Structure 1
Amino acid sequence: MSRYLLSEPMPPATLQRAAEQERARRGAASKAAVDAGRVSKEKADYDDAIWSNIVHFFRRWSGDTREPQGWSEAQREIMSKSARATYKRMLEVLDGSTKQEDFDQLKGLRDITYALAFTLLYCNFYPKPCPHCVGRKAAAA
Structure 2
Amino acid sequence: MTTDFSRQRLNGKIWQNQILSHYSFIEAQLIGCDFSNCDLQESNFQNAKLAQANLSNANMRGADFFSTDMRRVNLRGADLHGCDFQKADFTGTDLTDVNFDGAIVREALFSKCTGLTRETKHTLKAEGPISGFPIH
| Greater RCO (CA < 8 Å, at least 6 residues apart) | 1
- Higher normalized helix content (fraction of residues): 1
TM-score, structure 1 as length reference: 0.20
TM-score, structure 2 as length reference: 0.20
